[in-house]
Amino acid sequence: MDYKYIEQLIERYWQCETSILEEQILRSFFSQEEIPAHLLPYRDVFVYQQAQQEVKLGADFDEKVLAAIEAPVVKARHLTLASRFIPLMRAAAMVALVITLGNVAQRSFFADDDKLDYNYESYKDTYKDPQMAYEKLSSALMKVSEGINKSKSQLSSDSILDAKSEGDSAVVTE
């Protein structure tokens, strides 16, 4: 057989210019046992279709495909209301723990400053003379009043306090 013709057919095959008859010629040529060495790399391309036509599906193919397609059965978990709120309860417990530790730390740092006695029955009068107690109380209240008046004068430029004081004066005048 003329190998130049086969080489021309292969060239035309790669350019997609062969007819069905020419492709059958190539398949029949490459199905022979004796092929020149320089054309052996092309043999697998043309023999592949014939080899694949002989391959058939196995008898268990359908079963394998259906087994792969079917979804596994998933059992639903029963969720109670308590199990849904467990993460929220854990978060609340952590917040409570942090606040408690913060209060304990604050009390331990400021233990000297916080010596308050909340037992009112154990209180004693520090002044024997009521007039002297009245004068001390009056001077303390005057200092508090001066501090409040001073802070009001500093914040009088604030529009919120101006609006509030106007609202208070309107209530008083009525």
Answer yes or no: is 14 within a domain. yes
C-alpha 20/C-alpha 13 separation (Å) is: 10
pLDDT (tens digit, 9 = 90+) per residue, 95-112? 999 999 999 888 777 766
Give dist(CA 51, CA 53) in Å, integer: 5
pLDDT, residue 171, reads: 47
In a domain, 82, yes or no: no
Encode pLDDT of 47-65 as tens digits: 887 778 777 888 888 888 8
Tokens of 169: 């004066």
pLDDT tens digits, 148-159: 998 888 876 565
Which residues lie closer than 8 Å to 30 by C-beta, 6 or more apart? 39, 42, 43, 45, 46, 47
What pLDDT score was predicted for residue 135?
A: 92
- Which of 30, 32, 25 shows the shortest CA–CA distance to 45? 30
Residue 123 domain-assigned (yes or no)? no
pTM of the shown model:
0.33
For residues 43 and 93, membership in a common domain is answered with no
In a domain, 148, yes or no: yes
Reference 54, options 87, 35, 31, 75; nearest CA is 31
Q: What is the total count of domains within the chain?
A: 2
What is the rounded CA–CA span in Å between residue 169 and residue 162?
A: 10
Residue 11 structural domain:
3-58
The pLDDT value recorded for residue 158 is 60
Give 11-34 pLDDT, tens digit per residue: 999 999 999 999 888 888 888 888
Q: What is the pLDDT of residue 173?
A: 43
Inside any domain, residue 159: yes
| Residue with token string 């391309």 | 45
Is residue 151 assigned to a domain? yes
Q: Give domain status of residue 152, yes or no.
A: yes
CA 7 – CA 74 distance, rounded (Å):
61
Give residue 147's identity as a one-letter amino acid code: G
Q: What is the pLDDT of residue 15?
A: 92
Give the model's confidence band at 69: pLDDT under 50 very low, under 70 low, under 90 confident, else very high.
confident
